[in-house]
Amino acid sequence: MPTSGRNLLLMTHRAQEYDVIIAGGGLAGRSLACFLSREPALTGTRILIVDDAGDHYAHRSLIYWHDKALPLPLVPVATFMSLAVDAGSAQRVLPLTRHRLCLTSSRTVFRCLDDVIDANPHVTRLDAQISRVRAHRGSVEVALSDGRLLTASYCFDSTVPPPGIKAPLLMSGEVRRIRTPHESFDPSIATFIDFRSGNHNPVHFHCVLPVSDREAFIEVTRIMPGRRPGPEFSFEQATSAYLREVWGVSEFSTLSVERGCIPLGIRSSPSRGRHVRIGTPSGAVKATTGYGFTRILRQTQHIASSLATTGSADVPRPSPRFRWYDKPVLRMWKHDPEQAVQFMKAAFTSGDADLVLDFLDERTTFAEEQRLLGSMPVTMLLQPRLWI
């Protein structure tokens, strides 16, 4: 008779303090705890979430897309069925046939995850800092900074990569929720990666996500080398200039402001036996765009399912060819950002928005990638300095 995943987890580790230790209580850690809690075969699994940030995460707006039901009961702030993309001097509106582009808040996402986690009496939260994780053949040993020692069958680690690993690029941005006195936006269309701004120094782009004809989230993003400071840049001035020059909006009020940054191009940290990297350190965030919300949900749901069915943690690995695609694009952003702008414009005006979103999600087949790349200026990527 097949043995359940729960029994496989405990069969050789009954004396251990926990079955699963989750290092980090952000999106990846919470998602994994939630999906583990929802697996009937893992009922009673002892889960410890170790996080020294508590509930003090800076909540941000999240842009995501999906073409099937999400594993969370999210009600987005806004949903879009068309993308307006930068086509040079004007915009081009592309319909979304399969996908929906959505806007939500990390606060809403965390609330959905915590509702499941807090209902599980076998989940413990610990406000502490991990100083060392040591994997053994059948278990893992976790040392806390206060000297306490914990053991488990697995440690799933979503904390920052080890010291010394630097991001080649840094994506920083500001999201400003605004309200205009007049009808200014089409709530059914999201403006996605728009480079039409008067000043490109440093290179930056905008997204416009309307929630009504007079209210919208305006995101301004810049990508800079991660190891040297960039020129002075005012996100507020960039947003005002963009709205005035591109949208003809000179008067608006600001309802809220969010700021944040995402490291791009960090090499994924390897898992070591039962010390398993998840989330950003595992490469779940797309190297060239910083998008990772649905990718992290899929990754952690897959891990929970594999533990429930086999008792082993199977972490889905991205295809190596997507790293091959990403490398010259990252180098282009670093060495020739103006050329990167032209490449991105071409990518998003290929005519098939659903295919582009699948490609960004690394869910395309090789044949689909050939079709997409055939409509893009791939010769830009063949310069030796982008590969050496």
List pLDDT tens digits, range 306-333: 999 999 998 887 788 888 888 888 888 8
Angle, in degrees to the nearest 10, between helices 27-38 and 293-310: 40
CB 337 within 8 A of CB 221: no
Task: For the chain, give every domain's residue range.
Answer: 5-58+106-165+266-310, 169-264, 327-386
Query: For 169-264, CATH number?
Result: 3.30.70
pLDDT at 10: 44
d(CA 361, CA 299): 12
Fold agreement (5-58+106-165+266-310, 169-264): no
Identify the CATH number of the domain defined by range 5-58+106-165+266-310.
3.50.50.60
Quickly tell me which residue has 């009937």 as its tokens. 40
Q: Where are the alpha helices (DSSP H) in the chain?
A: 5-11, 27-38, 106-118, 235-247, 293-310, 320-335, 337-348, 353-360, 366-373
Most confident stretch, 174-183, 221-230, 262-271:
174-183
**% of the chain residues with pLDDT over 70:** 86
Tokens of 370: 């050939």
Cα torsion through 320, 322, 325, 328, rounded to 10? -70
Residues 168, 226: contact at Cβ < 8 Å?
yes
Does pLDDT of 266 surpass 90?
Answer: no
Which range, of 16-30, 44-58, 120-134, 209-223, averages the lowest pLDDT? 44-58
Q: CA–CA separation, 282 vs 31, rounded Å?
A: 15
